[in-house]
Amino acid sequence: MDSSARLDSPQIQNLANQGHRAPDRLSGIDSASAKGAARLYTRAGFSVVPVPFKKKGCRIQGWADLRITEPEICLHSDAGAQNIGVLTGIGGLTDIDCDAPEAIITGRALLPETTFVFGRQSKRASHYFY
Specify the length of the chain in residues: 130
Q: Cβ(81)–Cβ(117) under 8 Å?
A: no
Does residue 22 register a pLDDT over 70?
no
pLDDT band at 10 (very low <50, low <70, confident <90, very high): low
Question: Mean of the per-residue pLDDT values for the chain?
Answer: 77
Query: What pLDDT, on a 0 to 100 scale, did the predictor assign at position 117?
Result: 82
23-57 tens-digit pLDDT: 333 344 555 688 888 888 888 888 999 998 888 88
Q: Give the full edge-to-edge strand order of the sheet including 127-129.
A: 95-97, 127-129, 117-118
